[in-house]
Amino acid sequence: MHWVKYVTKASFTDKSWDYELASRLKGFHNGCFAGFWDEPPKWRLTGTDKKFNILLKVKQGIHPISGKPIVWDKALVPWALVQSVNLIDLGSWCYCYNAPRAPPIPPLDLTNLTELDDDDDRKHPNDIRREIARHRELISRRQDYEFDS
């Protein structure tokens, strides 16, 4: 009996004597066990108690908020990471993660865009703008030279 108590303790670290049993016990929590009940149930989750309505939905495999079926194929998450997010305690070690959703991205409003003229400098990249400005300067110098002569 002593080795059973040791194996079910949280400080169980010696896996060498039975690795298969130790691997099966990984993640086992014995904190909620209160014994066996051999009599008929004294009460049931009927849906009349608002405190347990959410748990009743979880027991049926339905998400308590969205009403969609729960898929239990997620990997285990460390408890420290779970505590870092905003959780709603449903009781019986069930938690609901209610993440705030980002607002939807509005569609692009293209009504204020206009087609620029070909001679508009804003239509060209900076390198082309500099080249256009250089050529305008050369043309201006040539016109000044022809005007003076």
Whether 35 maps to a domain, the answer reads no
Q: For residue 132, how many other CB atoms are within 10 A of its CB?
A: 13
Our count of domains for the chain comes to 1
Whether 84 maps to a domain, the answer reads yes
Residue 25 C-alpha from the chain's centroid: 29
Whether 145 maps to a domain, the answer reads no
pLDDT tens across 55-64, in order?
Answer: 788 888 888 7
pLDDT tens across 101-127, in order?
Answer: 778 888 887 777 677 777 777 777 888
Whether 14 maps to a domain, the answer reads no
State the average pLDDT over residues 30-42: 71
Which pTM was predicted? 0.32
User: What secondary structure letter does DSSP report for 85?
Assistant: S
Residue 3 has pLDDT above 60, yes or no: no
Average pLDDT, the chain: 75
Rounded-to-integer distance, Cα 87 and Cα 97, Å: 5
Whether 82 maps to a domain, the answer reads yes
Range of the domain at 81: 44-99
Contacts of 67 (CB under 8 A, 6+ apart): 57
Whether 78 maps to a domain, the answer reads yes
Q: Looking at residue 33, what is its pLDDT?
A: 59
Q: Looking at residue 93, what is its pLDDT?
A: 74
Whether 12 maps to a domain, the answer reads no
Whether 92 maps to a domain, the answer reads yes
